[in-house]
Each structure stands twice: as structure tokens, then as C-alpha cells.
A and B are shown apart, each in its own frame.
Chain A
Amino acid sequence: MTIQSILIVDDGEDDRYIIRRYLREIDSSWHLFEARNGREALEFLSDFEKQRTEYQHKFPPTLILLDINMPVMDGFEFLQEFAKLHQSEKYQSVVLAMISSSDRGEDKAKAQQYPFVKGFIEKWPETAESLHEQINAIV
């Protein structure tokens, strides 16, 4: 699948900077969306018509990179809500990867309950290339 756009959901400003810089390095044509927590991401995703008008085929994002520990709405709460959205045809194509500095098995098992969660990326891959490989495997 060709990546059109990626939504980064992370509360850390530096975390978003790091991933943004990596992604730009991999392919600067990807459109990047950012959200600071699950709630912001959900609000952005929910309004399909509006975003579609604004971003056209770049919306919905091909891939969502989701942090786990976030204030307001954390990664797991987001997954629960997003699962409802994902049932709709419009979001069927969207896949997710968790990004976290914790590699706790329990977290992985919890996220894997959702079929649209396709991978785990540990913060941070050594190089842009290794992140690229991981993303390719997911998408």
C-alpha cells in the first residue's frame, strides 16, 4: 500500500519532532498530521467530510503512529474509541502502529486485540532506514 499520509499521536513535543524528522528523511512527500493526545486525534479523525474536503485523498491517514502514555486520552482509550470508527467503510484502510518507550508484553497483548494494530515501534529506531523497514512491514 502506498503511504499518502501519517498521523502522529504523541504528547511529547520532542517525540513528535524526532519522528517527524525521521519520516521526512524517509520520504518527504508523506503528509504528516499531528495530535497531542488520543482525544485530539479522535476529534480530527471523526469529522470525515470536513477533513476529506480539506485534505482530499490524504485523509484518512494511511498509518497512525500512536503513543501509549498520554494525558487526557491515552493510547488504549484511543484504540477503544477508534475501533468504533474503524467499523465504518471510510476508515477500513487505516492501520496503526504503537510507538512507546515501554516494551511491556502486557501492553502489546492489549493492543493486539485490535486487528488494525499492525505493529510496535520502540522509541527510537537507530536510523531512519530501520524505521522505514518497520513501517514497510506494517503497511
Chain B
Amino acid sequence: MNLLREKLASISQAHNLIWLVIVVFGSLFTYYFNQNAKLITANEHRLAFEAQVLPRYALLSTSIDAVNLRLNAIASYLGVTDQASEETFSQYALRLGVEQTEVEYCWVSLQPFVVHSLLDRSDSRCAEFSPLQTSNVFFDEKPRALLSLPVHSENTVKGFAVAVVPLQALITDKSGSDKLHEFLVLMDTSRNLFQSYSISDNGIASTEAIGQYVSKPGLTFPLKRIGAFDFVYVAKPVESDVAWFGYGSLSLNALIWSLFFAMALYVRAIIYQRSEVQRQVDIRTEELSQFSYRASHDLKSPLSNIGGLVRFAQQDARDGNAAELDKNLAKIAEHVTRLQNLVGDILDLAMSDVKAGANEWVDLNRLLEVTIDNNAAQASAHGVTVKKNFASLPDIQSSNIRLLQIMDNLVSNAIKYADQSKPRPTVTIETKMTDDEAVVLVTDNGIGIPDQHMEDLFTVFTRFHPEHGQGSGLGLSIVKRHVDKLGGKIRVESTEQIGTAISVSLPLARVGK
């Protein structure tokens, strides 16, 4: 596969064209076989697999064709032909009580053409998959396939190597009306799937009978391997909970085509992944180049000024101009502070990618108390009242150091950019809890963020108020990175002159990572 990847890496987007050719060719092929679909049940139960197979399921329709062909083969093996009477089929009928056979599984498709795993419904990923997960299997009418299998949770899945995807097809039922059915077709390369099933005389499969071979009532026989790959399929009318199952094998011919399509899809998937990776790399490179440009500018600029001012200060000293000397030294000190802040912020930003993620339990309210204490001096210097309104919160799985940085940034920003013209500059810090998140809300009635900056809030070196203070323009970028690392979300609302509200939502507990 590595070789394949390397080869692909050397080929350009021309693959898109190849892909297109494959799809067109495959569709024609599929159409041809759908037209020739043969059905094996009695006429009344003819399953009309028409060509309404949706294009994105083109791969699967070859399997459906194989279903028909192979069921035909099984039919002749069993001595049941197309002319078989309805009675013959009715003898296969089985009705399974809801409480008897619960289909406790679902299919999870991780790639477009491969069902990777068949999971127990207790697996949370199952919840994302709807069609069959809660179906109880029973036939409310006569069986529509030659061999219909109740698939019991204990009988399914394990060792099940597979290829297939849901597909939809219109099936004409006995009354002549068309119903849209959903299908899953599964190839069993391991031959482990079809152990055995039985149908009792009264048409009800007893759970005790599972493990026996299935046949006409009273007759037990092994399911014989016919084609290259065994498979089972599951069909269910879209609007109903009733599902039914069929069994078959793929001929070598169909298999080759299936593999051909699978390969085409695989190639497609790799190309997509590659271009996606490339895109990510491009974005990061551009970010990095922007960053180093701005960083070098913002580092150099105070340094050059210090250089210039030092020369003037020397001159002032020589001239005995104490007042000017004093002014220049004060300016130098300011630039040094600015540099210190900037270097500190750049370090924070770099470290925000490195530090541990959410790996400890944090009392968020307490952490906010600490943050408020740390900023108390700044708040009183700016004449800002800090209010708090905390809901009771459980400890959250997060990171103390990251959260301290996030909160300190938000609170000190809110204080720094207070609107001194307002009678009562206030910063309010609230916490609240939703079902799965702890939310911190920092609101101020400060000078707000100009509209034109709302788009690049989190872009590095964006200063919203360059005339205001010594900000490095990195604060919110640092906050955003920390919040991302903690699996949280940040929302900023702001109106100039009115104030700013920033909320940070953090997951209460995180699995993994």
C-alpha cells in the first residue's frame, strides 16, 4: 500500500479525470446489470430491483445484481424454481416475536466502501447510524427471499470481513405498490457468518433452534458456499421497522467488479486525503510566514527605537539637557516593557501547542477567584468594579495552567479596555452549567472591539486599539489556542462604545486524549 501511496503522490490531479471515467463506466455497467436482474421468488413476490439505485451507491448495485443471480442459484440448488408455488414459499415463512429476536447491532461505515466494523449497540458510535439499529426482525408477510435469516446478536458479526454500504431500491410488493427499501449487503470473506438457523414447523424460529441449519420445515441442510464470497443482505422498507434478510454469494465476475470499484473509491479517498493534508500544510505555512514576519517586525521595531533613543540620550547627557535625557530614558523603559510583554506572549503562544491537554480536575470557580485576585490591583488602578456571579459547578476535566492563562487574558483585557468615560466601568464574571458544558462569561462595558476587527479576532498581532496600551496583539490568539486544546468553544460579541461579552464553554468531562 505504501508503494501505491508513493505512486499516487507522484501523480497529479489527472486522477480526478480517471475517477470520472471509472464512475461513468461503472454506472453504465451497473445499469446494464440492473436491467437484467433476475428474481427468484414466486412471481407475486418478485423483487423488482429497478434502476432507481442511487448513483452514489453504484458500487453496491453490482452486489444486488449478484444477490439476484446467486439467489437464483440457491433456488435451483434447493429445487425451488421461478415457477415455485406460493405455498412453497409460505412454508418458509416465519414470524419472529419482537421479544424473541432483537437485532442488537448496527453497521458502522468508516470509509465510503467498507463497513469496517459491526458493533454492539452499546457502542456509542452506533447511535449515529439509523436504518437498522432498533429493528426487530419478523416477517409480517410471506418471506420475499429464498432464505431469510433472523440474524441474532449472538450469531452475527464476529470475524466478519466485509464490503458494503447501504443502498436504496424500489421493490414492488405483492399488491403491486412500490416501496423504497434500504439495503445492507455484506460479504463474508471469513465464512463465519452463516452458521445456521432453523425454521420450525409453525414458521416461528425458536431461539433454541439457532445453531441448526435452515431448511424447509423438518428438513435441515447446510448452506452451501456457491460463489467467491458469501454475503448476507438486509432490507427494510424505509417507512417501517420491519427488516428482512437474505443470503447469497458473489460470483467471481461480480467480485472483480466490486474490487475494481472498491479500488477506484480507495484511490479517490487517498487523493482526497492527500489534497486535504496539503491544504492544511499550506495554511499552516502561510500562518507561520505571517507570524514570523509580524513577530520580527514587532520585535525589531522597539529595538530600533531603543537604539535611536539611546543615541539621543547620550547626546542629551553630553549637552547637559537633563529634561530631554529624562524623557528619552522613560521612552526607552517603555519600549523595554513592550518587548518583555511581547516576548512573554510569543512564548505563551508557542507553549500553547505544547502543554498538556485536559488531564486534571479543575475547580473553575476557584480558579476564577484566583484570577480576580491577581487582577485586583489592575482593576482598582483603572477604577473598574469586578463583579462575580458563579453557579455551582462540578470539577471539570481540564488543565489548570491553560485555564489560568485563558481567564487571566480575558479578565485583564476587560479591565485594560474599560471605558473611562463611563460613570461605572464594570467587569462581570459569571459561570453557569449546561448539560455537558461549563460556561464562563466575561462581560464588560468597555470601549468594545471595532467592527472591522470582528473577523480577525483571533489572528496573531491584531491590535484592536493600537493607541491604547502596550498589547502585543497576541492575547486572543493565545486564548483561542488554549480553548481549542481543551475541546472548548469561545464566542465573542462586541459593540464599540458599548462593551464586550466573551463566553468560553468547556466540556465537563472528556474521554480519551
**Smallest CB separation, B315 vs chain A (Å):** 9
Please measure, in the bound complex, the distance between the C-alpha atom of A11 and the C-alpha atom of B305, giving whole angstroms.
13
Q: A14-B335, A124-B307 are in contact. Are A102 and B293 (CB under 8 A)?
A: yes
Interface set, chain B 268-325, CB cutoff 8 A to A: 293, 296-297, 300-301, 303-305, 307-309, 311-312
Please measure, in the bound complex, the distance between the C-alpha atom of A76 and the C-alpha atom of B327, giving whole angstroms.
32
Q: How many positions in chain A have a CB within 8 Å of any CB in the partner chain?
A: 18
B463 at the interface (CB under 8 A from A): yes
A residues less than 8 Å from B312 (CB atoms):
18, 21
Please measure, in the bound complex, the distance between the C-alpha atom of A122 and the C-alpha atom of B297, giving whole angstroms.
12
**Smallest CB separation, B20 vs chain A (Å):** 39
Instruction: Please report A residues at the B interface, Cβ cutoff 8 Å.
Output: 11-12, 14-15, 17-18, 21, 69, 71, 100-102, 104, 122-124, 126-127
Q: Find out whether the CB atom of B300 lies under 8 angstroms from the CB atom of A71.
A: no
Q: Find out whether the CB atom of A18 lies under 8 angstroms from the CB atom of B305.
A: yes
Q: Find out whether the CB atom of A102 lies under 8 angstroms from the CB atom of B309.
A: no
Interface set, chain B 302-356, CB cutoff 8 A to A: 303-305, 307-309, 311-312, 331, 334-335
Q: Find out whether the CB atom of A14 lies under 8 angstroms from the CB atom of B293.
A: no
A residues less than 8 Å from B467 (CB atoms):
71
Find A102's partner among B297, B305, B331 (CB 8 Å cutoff): B297
Q: A14-B331, A71-B463, A71-B466 are in contact. Are A101 and B308 (CB under 8 A)?
A: no
Q: A21-B312, A71-B463 are in contact. Are A14 and B305 (CB under 8 A)?
A: yes
B residues less than 8 Å from A100 (CB atoms):
297
B residues less than 8 Å from A18 (CB atoms):
305, 308-309, 312
8 further interface pairs, Cβ-Cβ under 8 Å (given A18-B309, A101-B301, A122-B304): A12-B301, A12-B305, A71-B467, A101-B297, A101-B300, A123-B301, A123-B308, A124-B305
Name the CB-closest residue of B to A104. B293
A residues less than 8 Å from B300 (CB atoms):
101-102, 123
Q: Find out whether the CB atom of A102 lies under 8 angstroms from the CB atom of B296.
A: yes
Q: Find out whether the CB atom of B309 lies under 8 angstroms from the CB atom of A14.
A: yes
**Smallest CB separation, B401 vs chain A (Å):** 32
Please measure, in the bound complex, the distance between the C-alpha atom of A14 and the C-alpha atom of B300, giving whole angstroms.
14
Name the CB-closest residue of B to A103. B300
Please measure, in the bound complex, the distance between the C-alpha atom of A127 and the C-alpha atom of B297, giving whole angstroms.
22
B residues less than 8 Å from A69 (CB atoms):
297, 301
Q: Find out whether the CB atom of A124 lies under 8 angstroms from the CB atom of B304.
A: yes
A residues less than 8 Å from B308 (CB atoms):
18, 123-124
Please measure, in the bound complex, the distance between the C-alpha atom of A52 and the C-alpha atom of B487, giving whole angstroms.
61
**Smallest CB separation, B375 vs chain A (Å):** 27
B residues less than 8 Å from A122 (CB atoms):
304
Please measure, in the bound complex, the distance between the C-alpha atom of A131 and the C-alpha atom of B335, giving whole angstroms.
23
Q: Find out whether the CB atom of B305 lies under 8 angstroms from the CB atom of A15.
A: yes
Q: Find out whether the CB atom of B304 lies under 8 angstroms from the CB atom of A11.
A: no
Residue of A14, A100, A126 contacting most chain B CB atoms (<10 Å): A14
**Smallest CB separation, A70 vs chain B (Å):** 9
A residues less than 8 Å from B305 (CB atoms):
12, 14-15, 18, 123-124
Name the CB-closest residue of A to B301. A101
